[in-house]
A and B are shown apart, each in its own frame.
Chain A
Amino acid sequence: MAHEVPEGLYYTEEHEWLRVEGDEGVVGITAYAQDQLGDVVFVELPQVGAEYRAKEAFGVVESVKTVSDVYMPVSGRVVAVNLALADRPELVNQDPYGEGWLVRIQILNRDELAGLLDAAAYRQRTS
């Protein structure tokens, strides 16, 4: 089953995506990831202001069956979290690249972007 992998985003081996917007970036999990997890019932997100290194766990996505950590694609400081997920965690399933976003970060080290996958490389890993 082929899952949507939008062009223009960065991806991680652990199935997070990062959309760069100026100095900031928006982070979520991929369509493939939400499908593997199944129905998402709870999302635990960090405090605004918290800083994480690349590959550090910053939150937890829980489905009916499983618990999964989510990791920072690049080092960043959290500037906003998706508060809508508190009442509607299913947005992660319904719109993983849109309304189901997790956090917005200030990117602290742009050099780390070079270590991420592009859409073609990520598509290859999940096909």
Chain B
Amino acid sequence: MSGDTTAAAGDLKRTPLYEEHLALGARMVPFAGWAMPLQYTSIIEEHRAVRSAAGLFDVSHMGEIEVSGPGAQEALQRLLTNDVGRLTPGRALYTVMCTPEGGVVDDLLVYQLGEQRYMLVVNAANTASDLEWIQEHAGGPQVTIADRSLETALIALQGPRAQSILARVTDDVDLDALRPFHFVGGWEGMISRTGYTGEDGFEIFLSWDGVPAIWRGILAAGEAEGLVPAGLGARDTLRFEACLPLYGQELDRDTTPLEAGLDFVVKWDKGPFIGREALLRQREHGLRKKLVGLRLLEPGVARPGYPVLDERGETVGRVTSGTVAPTLEASLALAYVPPSLAAPGQRLAVAIRGRAVAAQVVETPFYRRRRGG
């Protein structure tokens, strides 16, 4: 057997739940400079628990950047592709921020906390470079930018049982009234109906010191309903089945939101924003590549970086994510291919260790939860 599966100790940052993870028997791995739980029991078991009941994730490594002041909204409108003007206090939206060339600097959630106060929740691996980017492109006398990442803990309770479990530990919040992309509370205790699993669920922002007691309380409250602690491994397979992009795999500075299929976060009519001209040109002249879902028709697993081949065996694209999807029990992948080869039904192949394994473009998302009921 080969492959490095051991966690490097060293200078990794620890979330306030580090000791909880160890006590729960988690396998800790380095991720974006943090020591994070990969799994507690099994990725597949945790994945299935989230689809059928609920899982509790520590995502305190995510970055939180506060942007406030009289110029905050205008600065964010320039910085982000989505329309922050649609927000009101208590609402959040998903967006990307782009380079002038239209490449994705990061994908993030924007929460409007008050009339002139916003919180951006960004990828852990990008927190430092995002902060730099935001200061450079949104800074000014009317705007205050602060990194709140190391004082803000974040846990995610996800799955069809999430609401009934959370209701056991919150008696003053009307969860029925909390619609998707809405939140209640403020920095030191905020419940948001958002997530990264394709299920209903909540993300709960807490103070660094306050989170361990809440984490334990939710786990205890949910045990009877099938709640389990879930690690980054399941988080990745869950988001993969739901076709939610992962920065560094589906998204990077050489990929535009249009190529990634994120057209819905690009609001052309809201006024100028960084990357708008480049994206407009791309919309007119056509995409260089398009993100598609692939289903492997022969045994094998497509991994990030594997070449995608056309029917003549020419390399035409690249896999960005792939695994055997635990809910769907199929070997699936996300890949960039030329737009001319992106229609569902298109036959392609993935080169796996020098062998062309037949694949077919399929509709995305791979998994869509049944709503209601």
Chain A residues proximal to chain B, CB less than 8 Å: 14-16, 29, 33, 36-39, 41-42, 44, 57, 60-71, 86
Contact = CB atoms under 8 A, between A and B. Distances in A.
Interface of B: 1-3, 5-6, 38-39, 42-44, 233, 236-237, 299-301, 303, 323-324, 326, 331, 353
Contacts of A57: 2
B233 to A, nearest CB: 6
Given A39-B42, A69-B3, 20 more contacts: A14-B2, A33-B1, A36-B6, A37-B5, A38-B42, A38-B43, A41-B323, A42-B300, A42-B301, A42-B324, A62-B301, A64-B44, A64-B237, A64-B324, A65-B323, A66-B5, A67-B301, A68-B3, A70-B1, A71-B2
Majority secondary structure, A binding face: strand
Contacts of B324: 41-42, 64
Contacts of B303: 67
B331 A65 contact: no
Contacts of A86: 299
A68 B1 contact: yes
A61 B1 CA distance: 8
B44 A67 contact: no
Nearest to A65: B233
Contact of B1 (A16, A41, A64): A16
Majority secondary structure, B binding face: loop
Contact of A67 (B3, B6, B299): B3
A60 B43 contact: no
A15 to B, nearest CB: 4
Nearest to B233: A65
10 closest residue pairs by CB, A with B: A41-B324, A68-B3, A15-B1, A39-B44, A36-B5, A33-B1, A64-B43, A69-B2, A62-B301, A68-B1
Nearest to A57: B2
Contact of B233 (A38, A62, A68): A38
Nearest to A64: B43
A37 B44 contact: no
A65 B301 contact: no
A65 B38 contact: yes
A79 to B, nearest CB: 22
B43 A42 contact: no
Nearest to B355: A44
A71 B3 CA distance: 12
Contact of B331 (A36, A42, A66, A67): A42
A41 B303 CA distance: 13
Contacts of A66: 3, 5
Contacts of B299: 42, 44, 86
Nearest to A41: B324
Given A41-B324, A42-B299, A65 B43 contact: yes
A43 to B, nearest CB: 9
A64 B240 CA distance: 12
B42 to A, nearest CB: 5
27 contacts: A14-B2, A29-B1, A33-B1, A36-B1, A36-B6, A37-B1, A37-B3, A37-B5, A38-B38, A38-B43, A39-B43, A39-B44, A41-B301, A42-B324, A44-B300, A44-B353, A61-B1, A64-B44, A64-B323, A64-B326, A65-B38, A65-B323, A66-B5, A68-B2, A68-B3, A69-B2, A70-B1
